[in-house]
């Protein structure tokens, strides 16, 4: 088995095989500490890439310097996480990044009890984790709504989604798992994937990390493979499938958003939900512009504004939870 430091380096350089990527994903999901370490190294790599628009630098030296800087922080956070788990096992801290994540569980699975539909809503500025009766685990992003039964039928498992969520679906070949969103139905057996389907967005974005997904869009059926992302345009009814880095789509679970050439108007909407703020902009002026960068939940909205100002000259005013952005 390839050594993990070498594997991370190969991944950042986009040199991994599909088998090596699966090995890396498995290692990342083994513990919160592994996930923090991976994204810590990726932060340095991405930051350099976004500012220099290239990846040609001394990788070995940079990663070695990074690891020497991360080691004491990593040990401290691991200790804090263990102490926290002992005190409050039912409250999740989202990998120690300083933003709350509640634990919700729908575990009524007795066959004699009638199923009850439950609606779970996550307001702006929050993230929740949801465990369904079959053991499926769902991360729910800000301003996300899920409708799910307290127990599933003997033939299928169905939930409805509005917003963004990452699913780790329990395998059950006899009962396919389906996610209904506006304009699409996603069918899986046992896999992990991210769905972004906000009501005020013109796109439904589905990114597959492991397993396989069957997308039902009208009369069209598409199969997604690991590392593929589908984007369905609700206005044109067109669906595009591209090869992507699936960890980028679900990085919000670890308190970070990665944008690579993302439509700026869509970025403004995501920032509003994440920081629970209201952004007012001249959409006609910013229409067609794109943004690349990494923003984090343990920083405030001003951090995003300063990052944006490095690439697009802007003026902004912050008044409590309202932000006015204009061009210089």
Q: Which residue has the higher pLDDT, 140 or 66?
A: 140
**How many Å apart are CA 320 and CA 317, to the nearest integer?**
10
The answer on 271 and 154 residing in a single domain is no
Backbone angles phi, psi at 182, to 5 degrees: -65, 105
The answer on 197 and 64 residing in a single domain is no
* Backbone angle region of 57, left / alpha / beta, with phi > 0 → left and psi within -120 to 50 → alpha: beta
In the numeric block, which tokens belong to residue 222? 């598409």
C-alpha closest to that of 68 among 17, 151, 5: 5
pLDDT the model gives residue 51: 41
Tens of pLDDT, residue by residue over 19-55, are 888 788 788 878 877 877 787 777 656 654 544 433 3
The answer on 182 and 159 residing in a single domain is yes
CATH number at residue 303: 3.55.50.30
Final residue before a domain boundary, out of 225, 249, 273? 249
pTM for the structure as a whole: 0.68
Tens of pLDDT, residue by residue over 67-106, are 443 343 333 333 333 333 322 222 222 332 334 444 455 5
Range of the domain at 220: 101-249
Tens of pLDDT, residue by residue over 127-138, are 888 888 888 989
145 belongs to a structural domain: yes
> Taking 90 as the threshold, does the pLDDT of residue 156 lie above it?
no
pLDDT the model gives residue 204: 92
Final residue before a domain boundary, out of 249, 272, 305? 249
318 belongs to a structural domain: yes
The answer on 260 and 208 residing in a single domain is no
- Return the residue matching tokens 């009766």: 133
The answer on 201 and 82 residing in a single domain is no
**How many Å apart are CA 1 and CA 26, to the nearest integer?**
13
Share of the chain above pLDDT 70, in %: 77
pLDDT bin (cut points 50, 70, 90) of residue 111 is low
How many domains would you assign to the chain? 3
pLDDT the model gives residue 143: 92
92 belongs to a structural domain: no
The answer on 220 and 115 residing in a single domain is yes
**How many Å apart are CA 259 and CA 278, to the nearest integer?**
20
Which of 20-24, 281-285, 322-326 has maximum average pLDDT? 322-326
Final residue before a domain boundary, out of 193, 222, 249? 249
DSSP per position, 127-138: EEEEE-TTS-EE
CATH number at residue 181: 2.60.120.1440
**How many Å apart are CA 253 and CA 141, to the nearest integer?**
8
* Backbone angle region of 143, left / alpha / beta, with phi > 0 → left and psi within -120 to 50 → alpha: left
Sheet architecture: strand order including 314-319: 278-280, 322-327, 314-319
Contact (Cβ atoms closer than 8 angstroms) between residue 165 and residue 146: yes
Which of 40-49, 57-66, 247-256 has maximum average pLDDT? 247-256
Residues 106, 192, 97, 316, CA torsion sign = negative
The answer on 278 and 147 residing in a single domain is no
152 belongs to a structural domain: yes
In the numeric block, which tokens belong to residue 117? 């539909």
Compute the mean pLDDT over every residue in the chain, rounded to the nearest whole number: 77
70-95 as b/e: b if 16+ CB within 10 A: beeeeeebeeebeeeeeeeeeebbbb
């Amino acid at each position: 088995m390839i050594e993990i430091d070498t594997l991370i380096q190969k991944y950042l350089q986009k040199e991994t095989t599909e088998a090596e990527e699966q090995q890396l994903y498995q290692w990342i999901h083994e513990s919160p500490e592994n996930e923090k370490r991976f994204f810590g190294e990726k932060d340095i790599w991405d930051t350099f890439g976004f500012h220099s628009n290239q990846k040609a630098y001394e990788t070995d030296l940079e990663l070695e310097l990074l690891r020497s800087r991360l080691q004491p922080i990593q040990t401290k956070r691991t200790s804090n996480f263990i102490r926290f788990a002992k005190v409050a096992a039912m409250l999740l801290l989202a990998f120690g990044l300083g933003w709350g994540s509640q634990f919700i569980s729908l575990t009524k699975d007795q066959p004699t009890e009638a199923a009850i539909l439950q609606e779970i809503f996550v307001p702006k500025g929050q993230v929740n984790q949801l465990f369904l009766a079959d053991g499926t685990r769902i991360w729910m992003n800000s301003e996300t709504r899920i409708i799910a039964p307290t127990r599933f039928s003997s033939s299928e498992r169905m939930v409805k989604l509005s917003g963004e969520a990452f699913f780790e679906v329990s395998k059950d070949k006899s009962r396919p798992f389906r996610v209904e969103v506006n304009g699409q139905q996603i069918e899986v057996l046992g896999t992990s994937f991210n769905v972004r389907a906000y009501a005020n967005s013109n796109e439904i974005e589905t990114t597959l990390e492991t397993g396989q997904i069957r997308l039902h869009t009208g009369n069209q059926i598409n199969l997604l493979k690991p590392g593929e992302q589908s984007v369905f345009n609700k206005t044109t009814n067109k669906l595009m499938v591209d090869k992507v880095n699936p960890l980028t789509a679900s990085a919000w679970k670890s308190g970070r958003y990665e944008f690579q050439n993302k439509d700026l108007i869509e970025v403004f909407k995501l920032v509003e939900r994440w920081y629970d703020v209201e952004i007012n902009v001249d959409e006609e002026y910013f229409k067609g512009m794109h943004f690349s960068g990494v923003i984090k939940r343990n920083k405030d909205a001003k951090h995003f504004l300063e990052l944006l100002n490095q690439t697009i000259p802007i003026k902004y005013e912050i008044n409590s939870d309202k932000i006015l952005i204009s061009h210089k």
